[in-house]
Amino acid sequence: MASNPFYSAMTGGNGMMQMLGQLKQNPVQFLMQKRLNIPADIAGDPQAILQHLMSTGQVNQQQVNNAYQMLNRFR
């Protein structure tokens, strides 16, 4: 069965669980690979990272809400 090109483009060819594992293992590196700018001085603070991404317009509230919904599905 051929892979879905849209899904592959959105996930970089990785499965959702693999992406979740990468995010858990090294969140800053994962976000930087997705072309998000994270200052080094807040790299260890998830709340500060989220606030920075939102305040700089790199992500919006709807994207954050969607991420929380997806996270809840995996719990």
- pTM beyond 0.75: the answer is no
pLDDT of 29 > 50? The answer is: yes
Rounded CA gap, 48 and 34, in Å?
18
pLDDT of 6 > 60? The answer is: no
Mean pLDDT throughout 40-56? Answer: 93
pLDDT of 75 > 80? The answer is: no
- Per-residue model confidence (pLDDT) at position 61: 93
Give me the residue label for tokens 């996270």.
Answer: 71
Instruction: Record the tokens describing residue 17, joined without a space.
Output: 């669980």
